[in-house]
A and B are shown apart, each in its own frame.
Chain A
Amino acid sequence: MVRGGKMSRVDQPSMRGFSACLALIRRDLTLTFRSPGQAINPMAFFLMVATLFPLGIAPDREVLSELAAGIIWIGALLAVLLSLDSLFKSDQDDGALDQLLMSPHPLPLLVLAKVFSHWLTSGFCLTLMAPLLAIMLHLPSEAFSPLMMTLLLGTPVLSLAGAIGAALTVKVQRGGVLLTLLSLPLYIPVLIFATGAVSAAMQNMPYTGHILWLSVFLILGICLAPLAIAGALRVINE
Chain B
Amino acid sequence: MNWTFFHKLGSPKWFYDISGKWLPWLQVSSLVLILVALAWGLAFTPPDYLQGNSYRIIFIHVPASFLAQSIYMMMATAAAVTLIWRIKLADMALKVMAPVGASFCILSLVTGAIWGQPTWGTWWVWDARLTSMLILLFLYIGIIALRGAIHTTEAAAKACAILSLVGVVNIPIIKFSVDWWNTLHQGATLKLTEKPSMAPEMLWPLLLAILGFYLFFTMVMVLRLRIEIISRERKTRWVKELVS
Segment touching B, from A33-41, A55-63, A104-112, A229-237: A229-237
**A189 to B174, Cβ gap below 8 A?**
yes
Q: Which of B18-67 contact A (CB under 8 A)?
A: none
Min CB–CB distance B144 → chain A (angstroms): 10
Q: Which of B154-172 contact A (CB under 8 A)?
A: 154-155, 158-159, 162-163, 165-167, 169-170
Interface secondary structure of A, over-half rule: helix
Other-chain residue from A168, A192, A217, A224 in contact with B163 (beta carbon distance below 8 A): A168
Q: Which residues of B contact A172 (CB under 8 A)?
A: 149-150
Whether B10 sits at the interface, judged by CB under 8 Å, is no
Chain A contact patch, size range: 20 to 34
Whether A169 sits at the interface, judged by CB under 8 Å, is yes
Segment touching A, from B88-96, B177-185, B201-209, B212-220: B177-185
Min CB–CB distance A234 → chain B (angstroms): 9
Segment touching B, from A6-14, A45-53, A133-141, A180-188: A180-188
Q: Which residues of B contact A232 (CB under 8 A)?
A: 159, 162
Whether B146 sits at the interface, judged by CB under 8 Å, is yes
Given A181-B141, A185-B138, A235-B155, the answer on whether A224 and B169 have CB atoms closer than 8 Å is: yes
Q: Which residues of A contact B142 (CB under 8 A)?
A: 178, 181-182, 185
**A185 to B174, Cβ gap below 8 A?**
yes
Q: Which residues of B contact A184 (CB under 8 A)?
A: 138
How long is the Cα–Cα vector from A232 to B163 in the complex, in angstroms? 9
Q: Which residues of A contact B173 (CB under 8 A)?
A: 189, 217
Whether B139 sits at the interface, judged by CB under 8 Å, is yes
Given A181-B141, A185-B167, the answer on whether A171 and B150 have CB atoms closer than 8 Å is: yes
Q: Which residues of A contact B178 (CB under 8 A)?
A: 188, 192
How long is the Cα–Cα vector from A196 to B183 in the complex, in angstroms? 12
Can you name the residue of chain A whose Cβ is closest to the Cβ of B141?
A181
Number of interface residues of B (CB under 8 A): 29
How long is the Cα–Cα vector from A192 to B174 in the complex, in angstroms? 10
Q: Which residues of B contact A217 (CB under 8 A)?
A: 173
Whether A175 sits at the interface, judged by CB under 8 Å, is yes
Whether B145 sits at the interface, judged by CB under 8 Å, is yes
**B180 to A181, Cβ gap below 8 A?**
no
Whether B9 sits at the interface, judged by CB under 8 Å, is no
How long is the Cα–Cα vector from A172 to B160 in the complex, in angstroms? 14
**A193 to B177, Cβ gap below 8 A?**
yes
**A196 to B155, Cβ gap below 8 A?**
no
How long is the Cα–Cα vector from A238 to B154 in the complex, in angstroms? 9
Min CB–CB distance B78 → chain A (angstroms): 16
How long is the Cα–Cα vector from A182 to B143 in the complex, in angstroms? 8
Q: Which residues of B contact A235 (CB under 8 A)?
A: 155, 158-159, 162
Give me 12 A-to-B residue pairs in the complex whose CB atoms sit less than 8 angstroms apart, sorted by A's number. A164-B162, A164-B163, A168-B146, A181-B138, A182-B146, A185-B139, A186-B170, A188-B174, A189-B176, A192-B178, A193-B177, A231-B158
- B residues with CB within 8 A of A: 135, 138-139, 141-142, 145-146, 149-150, 152, 154-155, 158-159, 162-163, 165-167, 169-170, 173-174, 176-178, 180-181, 184
- A residues with CB within 8 A of B: 164, 168-169, 171-172, 175, 178, 181-182, 184-186, 188-189, 192-193, 196, 217, 224, 228, 231-232, 235-236, 238
User: Which 9 A-B residue pairings sit nearest by Cβ, starting from the closest?
Assistant: A235-B158, A189-B177, A172-B149, A192-B177, A192-B181, A182-B142, A185-B138, A189-B173, A181-B142
